Amino acid sequence: MKKYIFSRLIQLVPILIGITFLTFGMMQFAADDAVDILYEQSGSVAEEIKAAKRAELGLDQPFLIQYGNWLKGVVTGDMGKSFISGKLVFETFAEKLPATFELMLVSILLTIFIATPLGILAAVNQNKFVDYLIRTFSFIGNSLPNFFVGLLLIYVLALKLNLLPIMGRPNDFSSVIMPALTLTIAMGAKYTRQIRAVVLEELAKPYVVGAKSRGVGEWTILTKSVLRSTLIMIITLLALSMGSLLGGTAIVETIFMWDGVGKMAVDAILTRDYPLIQAYVVWMAIIYVMMNLAADLLYHWLDPRVRYSEGGA
């Protein structure tokens, strides 16, 4: 098992090099660079000043050398400084992470609390009115794009009813509700369908008939056997969702001015802030690989069939 984890972590190295090289390369195709954007607001600035700034940031070097320098820095633990703010990339990142983490946690928990009972309710009442109702809502939730749901929530909850703040505010829990709800509506709809499908699949298995023939109550069958079996799959899926949420949700964070890594990435792209973009890309790759690994390990740990077939975890 240790060997397995180790080999998965080793795989991170080529992934990281490949993905950072690609992003670095793509940024070169952009027509303007960080210096152009930095001085955009200052009116016309002499090309000499821009050139000096480029030299200072190392932007005058050939592409491969720039990338090499960046890589050297990363390996020695130096992610560089932001071109725009001049602050350390690592610090900037560490500042934004808690907000993203908070949003991820709240929306995942909301999703679990909404989707699990709804999915089970729909499955148990398959093809009855409740099922149709839940399926209709989850279909709608699934089809609405994030930005639209976000704007709708702002219009209703903030502007009309004046219940919640529009923008993200630090240390104010009420401001996380709307962005989290926006994410939850799509995710919850997806998970409701997902949970309904796996519960239905489990309910059709012969062990359910077996348990009934032994006089076990439906509630016990549902909670002890069916749910436990479906949880294995749901938890695995949730780990992957957590991964994508930890990458920050650029659109939602931007709409709600939520000061997380997603918004930071959008801002960094708009200002061609290479070091920050690179740091973001590295973070995303690490999170994805780690969350995939966590999902795999959870799966091994939760399902005795996998555990035994691979000779013990």
The footprint of another protein on this chain (CB under 8 A) covers a number of residues equal to 24
276, 261 Cβ separation under 8 angstroms: no
Report the C-alpha gap between 114 and 108 in whole angstroms: 10
Q: Residue 305 interacts with another protein (CB under 8 A)?
A: yes
Examine residue 217 and tell whether it contacts another protein (CB under 8 A). yes
Of 145 and 304, which CB lies nearer to another protein in the complex structure? 304
Q: Does 304 bind another protein (CB under 8 A)?
A: yes
Q: What is the DSSP string of 11-65?
A: HHHHHHHHHHHHHHHHHHTSSS-HHHHHHHTT-S--HHHHHHHHHHHTTTS-HHH
Residue type, 153: L
Give, for 289, the enclosing helix (H) or strand (E). helix 274-302
CA 191 to chain centre: 15
Q: Which residues within the stretch 187-216 sit at the binding site for another protein (CB under 8 A)?
A: 205-207, 209-216
Residue (216 or 240) nearer to another protein, CB = 216
Distance in angstroms (rounded) separating the CA atoms of residues 297 and 299: 5
CB of 306 to another protein, least distance (A): 10
Q: Applying CB under 8 A, does 308 fall inside the site for another protein?
A: yes
Q: How far is the CB of 305 from another protein (least distance, A)?
A: 6
Residue 212 beta carbon to another protein: minimum distance, rounded to whole angstroms? 6
Report the C-alpha gap between 226 and 210 in whole angstroms. Answer: 13
Q: Per-residue contact track with another protein, 232 to 271, x per CB under 8 A?
A: x---------------------------------------
C-beta closer to another protein: residue 232 or 290: 232
Q: Closest Cα to residue 153, out of 144, 136, 166, 141? A: 166
Q: Cβ of residue 118: shortest distance to another protein, in angstroms?
A: 22
Two tokens at 41? 């607001």
**Which spans of this chain sit near another protein (rule: CB under 8 A)?**
205-207, 209-218, 220, 224-225, 228-229, 232, 302-305, 308
